[in-house]
Amino acid sequence: MRPPRESFNISDWEDDKQFLRCWRHQDCQPCLVEDGCSWCPFASSWTCTPNAYSIPLLAPAYNENICPHWAERWEIRTRPLGCQVSTITALTGAVSIASTLTIVALVF
């Protein structure tokens, strides 16, 4: 076993601070006000989790464990879309609009 001084590094401490900063929130709105936090909305967890990805909305594509429960990762709420729009809703809307515009462009 290594002595505590050898096993400690500043990045671990920064990760812990971010984790504690996010997990102290018990509601979606205050969670999303914090930089680097996202809301996992399922009734089983209702958790504010750290999300340091440059595009927070796409975090589930990079990290399957972004939320405590595997099934809710695509339901994560992030800024700037807020508490009412999940990742899957935003992606579905974007794909629908892009598909519609592509079909219209091909027809005309």
Residue 46, judged by CB atoms within 10 A of its CB (0-12, 13-18, 19+), counts as middle
Domain ranges of the chain: 9-107
Question: Residue 17's pLDDT is what?
Answer: 84
> 52 is written with which tokens?
């340091």
| pTM summary value | 0.75
Sign of CA dihedral 95, 44, 48, 69: negative
> 106 is written with which tokens?
């091909």
Q: What average pLDDT does range 18-29 have in this prediction?
A: 89
Question: Residue 3's pLDDT is what?
Answer: 46
The predicted-structure confidence for 57-92, as pLDDT tens digits, reads as follows 999 999 988 888 888 889 999 988 899 999 999 999
Cα angle 82, 79, 49; round to 5: 95
